[in-house]
Amino acid sequence: MNAENLSDAARLYATAVEALNRSDWPLALSLSEKLLPRANTHPGVHFVAGVACLHMHRIAQAVQVLRRAVMLNPARADYGAQLARAFAAARMARESVEAADHASALETQDPMTLDTLGVVYSQANLHAKAAAMFRRAVEARPDVASFRFNAATSLTACGDLAAADAEYEACIARNPHYWKAHLALAHLRTQTKDANHLQRLESLGASGGEGSAEGRMYVQLALSKECEDIGEHERSFRHLVAGKAAGRSLRDYTPTRDEELFDALMRAFPDVESGGAGHQSVEPIFVIGMPRSGTTLVDRILSSHPSVHSAGELQNFGAVIKRASGSRSPRLLDAETIVHARRLEWGRVGDAYLASTRPGTGSTPHFIDKLPHNFLYAGYIARAFPKARIICLRRNPMDTCLSNFRQLFAQTSPYYDYSFDLLDTGRYYLLFDRLMAHWQRVLPNRILEVDYEGIVDDQEGHTRKLVEFCGLPWHDACLRFERNDAPVSTASAVQVREPIYRSALQRWRRYEAQLAPLRALLESSGVMVD
């Protein structure tokens, strides 16, 4: 390349970096793609292209060019962190952790890179590593609200609730409009009439919280939680409906989308499954069910056993099915993917799934994958792992629907759009109930259904039943799950650190009048409500 071309390439690269720094992702990508044929050995050009691709959701391309950037300059921790982030976006969990470990070993001091690594570790359920990264990011830039929020989230998962409280408050002090910090703080403990955040939340609801749908959603839901804690249930429900309505306005959801998906799954498994062709491992234990039905409680009970590790809510199984199917559709699970997945080699699917969980698993004879929505994949799980245990949690239908409607689930997840409307939630429950009846018919003796209320009423009896079903010898630690110090990042992160309590039973009765339309919907479809 002559001097003139070098000068032109340098100008293009500088302009691409400027575009990246001001978040003009299309321009940064366009310029870097022009440069790549002339500067294929320049790691910075690949890095700019990769970060731009990540933000434009061109994940496969992001992985490709960021891999090249790291190969050309393995000493740059920021390159490695973005590659780890790309792997995580591609649901390549093992590769993501390996890339993050390589980047963190470079001992970077850059706070943005440290924060990115913390996010990657959080997504991999490695919360101790995540907390260490976030702590270093906060130490480097204590003024950045997002760093304080991320640190608080990992501290919550690790059970250090006092430190998490301090970090959430530090986040809000630096940015009072960091809306999700207000909701997280409301959920961190049970509020009282003498100690709550209602005055601050009400002032936000009257000002900034009214300015955007996202702000209204977080503030109204925080108000709902705190009003419920102090016994103002009617007021709590008004805030809940307002918050969820604001969130629903941000989504393009129709129940027919889920109806079509559930119907396609049942068509794909019309008859009793023969089993036997998949991977023969007994290592994974799948805990499934509607969210907020007790899946985290069962995970904590079983993972208190020395032979069982909790791997958290893994997205891996669905990602493995998607990749193996060859489907190019945008959704993780849809009719196209189901059609393409009819003739998979199930032993290879099992191999790929187990490999994707490493290195987080493999140190104990069993691990738990407790992604509730794996109930969609029960047929595939049974084919891939004919000897794996599958446990489905059931809970009072009204309590299940109310708890789903009350909860603000992960905003980037494809699973929870139904939960922004009370009757949509009821319709989704009916789909779940029908699908589980189908799985029980075509997968006889494969799925143990356990009632949450039964565990509360007879903890030892149901714990022994769970332990026996999993083929484990009895261990008394399973009765003391609240002493389990393993991190937990689900919506139940605070509650499962306490012994079993009864206050969540029949919670719906507090809102009986407001839930009358939901009850009518369920009962009209033959679901018993008591």
pLDDT at 382: 97
| Under 8 Å between Cβ of 284 and 366 | yes
d(CA 510, CA 16): 57
186-190, 255-259, 472-476, 502-506: least confident range? 502-506
pLDDT at 490: 53
Report pLDDT digits (tens) over 124-178: 889 999 999 999 999 999 999 999 999 999 999 998 999 999 999 999 999 999 9
Can you list the alpha helix ranges (DSSP code H) found in 443-500?
A: 452-457, 459-469
* Bigger pLDDT: 386 vs 530: 386
pLDDT at 3 over 50: no
17-31, 115-129, 207-221, 385-399: least confident range? 207-221
CA dihedral over 274, 279, 285, 286, signed as positive or negative:
negative
Report pLDDT digits (tens) over 63-109: 999 999 999 999 999 999 999 999 999 988 889 999 999 999 999 99
| Under 8 Å between Cβ of 369 and 359 | no
pLDDT at 6 over 80: no
| Under 8 Å between Cβ of 486 and 303 | yes
Average pLDDT over every residue of 3-14: 74
pLDDT at 504 over 70: yes
- Among residues 350, 367, 342, the alpha carbon closest in space to that of 278 is found at 350
- Provide, rounded to the nearest whole percent, the portion of the chain with pLDDT above 70: 95
d(CA 351, CA 25): 37
- Among residues 174, 84, 177, 90, the alpha carbon closest in space to that of 133 is found at 84
6-15, 238-247, 391-400: least confident range? 6-15
d(CA 38, CA 52): 19
pLDDT at 4: 46
- Among residues 394, 391, 396, the alpha carbon closest in space to that of 443 is found at 391
Band (365; pLDDT cuts 50, 70, 90)? very high
Band (273; pLDDT cuts 50, 70, 90)? confident
pLDDT at 222: 97
Report pLDDT digits (tens) over 187-236: 999 999 999 999 999 998 765 455 699 999 999 999 999 999 999 999 99
Which residues make Cβ contacts (< 8 Å) with residue 174, sequence separation at least 6? 143, 144, 145, 148
d(CA 101, CA 81): 9
Q: Radius of gyration over alpha carbons of the chain, in Å?
A: 24
**Average pLDDT of the chain?**
93
Burial of residue 270 (number of CB atoms within 10 Å: 0-12, 13-18, 19+): exposed
pLDDT at 484: 81
* Bigger pLDDT: 46 vs 529: 46
pLDDT at 240: 98
- Among residues 464, 466, 500, the alpha carbon closest in space to that of 481 is found at 500
* Element spanning 100, H or E: helix 93-104
Q: Sheet holding 447-451: strands in order across?
A: 308-310, 366-369, 284-289, 389-394, 447-451
Q: What is the pTM of this model?
A: 0.89
| Under 8 Å between Cβ of 311 and 361 | yes
pLDDT at 176: 95
pLDDT at 2 over 50: no
